[in-house]
Structure 1
Amino acid sequence: MIIDYITINCLFIFGKLYFFEFDHRDFAQEFRTQLAIINISWFVITLIIKPYKSLKVKESSLHFNALSKAFVLFVLASAIFPSLIFSLKINYRNVFIYFLLLGFFITFTRFLLFLYRKKNRVKLGRKFYSFDTVLIGENKLSTSLISNSHLRRSIGIRGTYTPLSKETKNKYLGGIDQLFYDLENTKINNIIFCDDNIEVDIYKKIVDIAEHKMIRIYMVPDFKYVNLGPNYFDVINDIPFIKLIREPLSNPKKQILKRSFDIAFSLFAIIFLLSWLIPLVALIVKIESNEFVFFIQKRSGLNNVPFNCLKFRSMKSNRNADLQIAKKNDVRITKFGAFMRKTSIDELPQFINVFLGDMSVVGPRPHMLSQTEMYSKITKKYMTRHIVKPGITGWAQVMGSRGEIFSVKDMEKRIEKDIWYIQNWSFFLDMKIIFLTLYNIVKGDDQAY
C-alpha cells in the first residue's frame, strides 16, 4: 500500500503530468487540488474494493482481480469526476501517459512481491501467521479444518481442546481445565465449537469468559460424511448448505464474463491469426501428405456432450486416430506435424470451436470419447471435469500434466488439477493460465510431442 501511494504521487509530482490545462497564475492551487483528488480517490476505492486484504496469503490471480477493479475505478474517478466539479479542460494525453506508467509500475511491484513471497513462503508464514483460533471438541468438519494446512494457516488454528480430556490426533492442546487457564493467560481471539455434546454449564461458562474478553465465538455443523470429499458452505435464502464442490462459474454473471472474453479472444485469433495461417498450413500439409488441412475428431464437451474438435492435421491418416493418443517418436506424426505439435500450432483451429461455443479458451482439455469411456470407469471424479466447457489450454497443462498418459496415476493427477481449476476459477486465473501457456511455448515443453 505504501509503495502504491509513493508511485501514485511520485509519478504525478516528478513527472509533471498534470490533468488540467489551467492558468499558470493558479498553478499552485490547481496542482494541490489535483494531488488531493487522486489520493482521496485511491483511498476511497481501495477501502471499498480491498485489494490489500489478506495479501500475505491471497492467491495471486485473486489479488490482480481486485487490483484491476480498483485501478479501473481510479482511472474513472481521476479523469472524469474532477471535470464535473471544475470548469477546466482535461488534458487527456497527459492523463493517458500518467495511468499507463502507473499501471505498469504497480503491476511490476506485484510481480516482484509474489516472486518474493513464493521464494520465502515458509519463512513468511512463520513470521506473519497468527495462530489465535482454537477448537473445542471434534467432529468431521473440525478434522477437515485442522488437517488442511493451508486452511489452518489462513484461519490461524492453534489446536483442539476436548471436553472429556481425551487426547486427539488433531494438535491436542488439553482438556477444558487447560482451556480455562489459557483463556486467562494466553492470547485467544476466536473459539470454534465443534462438539454439540458439551455440557450446557461448561458451554455457558466458556461463552461468558469469551464475551468478557471480547473473543469471537463460532460453531460448525456436524455431518458424518463431510470429510469424505471437498466441500464448502453455500447460503441459499439464509439457509446454510454444505456443497461438495465449489463452482464459481455457476454464477450467471461470471458465465457472461467468461463467454464474452472467449468470443472477443477467439474472434481476434480468427481474424488476425487463422485467416492467413490456415491457407499456409493447408499448402504445407497438402505438399507433405496430400491430405485435408483439418483433423476433425469427436471429443467430450460440456456435460459430456460430444462435439467436433478441430485441429491442424499433424499425423498421417490411420485407424487408431480415435483410440491411441500421440506417443514420443510416434511414427504417425509427419515432419511438419512434429513442429506444429511442439509449438502447439496444431491446436489453434480450436479458436473456431471457442467462437461457436463448444469450447472455452481456458478449461480442462477435451479428451477423446474412447478415453472418457475408459477413464470414467477407473478414475475417481473423472466426469466432474465435464461440468465446465473444455479449453484450448488449462491449469493441468501449464502445471506439467499434458501429453502422453503412462498410468492411471498420471490421469488422476491431471483430474485433480482440472477440479482445482473448476473450484478456484476467476477471470485472472484464466489470464494467468494464458500467460503461462505462452511462456511454456517460448521456453519449450518436453511433453509437447
Structure 2
Amino acid sequence: MEFRRGRYSWVLRPVLIVYDLFIVNIFAFYLLNFNDEDLYFFSSKTLNDKHLLFLFYSVLYWLISTYANDFYKVYRYTSLINILSLIIKQFIVFGLGVFAFEGVFRSINIEAIETLKYLLYVFASISIIKLLSYYLLKTVRLYLKGNFRNVVIIGRGDTVKDLKKMFLEKKDLGYALKGVFNNSNEEGVSGTIKESFEYLENHNIDEIYCAIDELRERELAEYVKYANHNHCNIKFVPNTKKLFTKRLQTNFYSYIPVLSIQEVALNNEINKILKRSFDIVFSLFIIIFVLSWMTVILYILVKLESKGPLIYKHKRTGINYKEFVCYKFRTLTITEEIKGTYVSKNDRRVTKVGKFLRRTSLDELPQFINVLLGDMSVVGPRPHMLSYTDEYSKKIDKYNFIFRHKVKPGITGLAQIKGYRGEVKLDKDIINRIKYDIFYIENWSLILDFKIIVQTFINLVKGDDKAY
C-alpha cells in the first residue's frame, strides 16, 4: 500500500477522472449521431435514450478499462514514454468499446470515420491535460520546491550510489534526500544503521529505501514494522545482478530498479472483509461451543498433573512483523519460552495431558481468541517464535520471507496439512514450509480456506506423526 502523508497531489487523480468522463460524454453528445439525422458540431440537440444508454455504458466501461490498464497510475518516477504508452493502450481499448456499442444497436448508423473523429477529439483533449498535469507537477517541484517527499536510504552498494545520485540530481522528481545510513566509513554517510532508527523517530520521513541484500533480516523487520506503524512507504533496492522476484513489485526510477512489497489479493478491501467476517463467525462458534466447556475440564486436568497456568502466553511474529501475544493450552512442565528449543519427539518436558493435546492439536484452541482480537486468522502461515524468525530468514530468500509476513498468521495453514509443521530438523523443512505459505498467499480463496480447515479436522481425527 502506498501511504500519502501531508500531500495534496493525490487530489489530481479524481479531478482527472471527472474531467475525462466529461470529455468522453460531451463529445459523444455533439459528435456521435444517435438520432439518425444530419447534425452539425455544437448544433441544437436533445438528449435521447441512446445518449443516456451510452452515458452509463461509457462511464462504466471507461472506469473498468482505465483500472485494468493502470491509466491513472502515474507517479513522479514514471517516464514520458510510459505515459504515452498508457494513452495509446487506453485509446485502443476504449475505441474497441465504442465500436462494440455501435455494433450492438443496429438502429445506430454512424460512419466509422465519424467515430474515429470522436475518438481523436476525446484523446487529444485527455492527452493534453494529462501531459500538462504531469509537467505542472515537475515545475512545482523544480522551481517552487513543493510536492517533495522526504526520503532516507539505508545500506550501501552500487545501486544505492546510483539512487542517491538520481535523488540529488533530478530535482523535478521531487525527492528530498535527508540521509544515507550504513555501517561503513564512506563519505556522505549520515550515520549507522542503529542511529537511523533514532533519526526516523525524530524526523518526518515519507519513504525509506533499504538495500535489501546488505541488511540482516532483523533489521529489515524493524524497518517494515516502523513503516507500517508510522504510515510511511518502505521500498527495497536490490543488487541489480540478481533476478527480481514476482513477490515484490518492481518499479524503475530511470534505470534503477526499486522494489515495493506487493499488495496481495488477500489484502484488498473486499477480500479482507470476507476473510475477517469468516474469522469472527468461526472463532466465536469455537469459543462459545467448544472452548467454553473444554477450558474448565482442562484446567482441572492440567492443575492435577503440574503446577503453572493453564494458558501459555508467548510472543510471535505477525503481519508486517508485528509482535503479538499468542495463546495456547500449556503442554510443558516449563512456563517460559527458551530460545532455540522446538519440542522434539519424546521430549521430557511434555506432560501426559500435554501429549494428548499436542497430538490432537487441541492445545491450539485458545488461538481462536487471537483470531477474534484480530492478531491471527483461522487459516494462514503459522507464526514463528521471535528467535526463529531471524534464524529461518538466513535459510530463506529474503524476498519470500518478507512476502510471507504480508498477511496475518493462521491457526492452521497449507504447509501444516502438507506435513511441514512442528520441529525443523533439516533446511528443507523450513524451505518447503515457506513454499507452501507463498503458494497459499498467491492463490488464496475462501474455498481454499475451507479445504484446509476440512483437511485439518481430518488430520486431527487421524493423528499427525509430527504433532508431538
TM-score range, shorter chain: 0.3 to 0.5
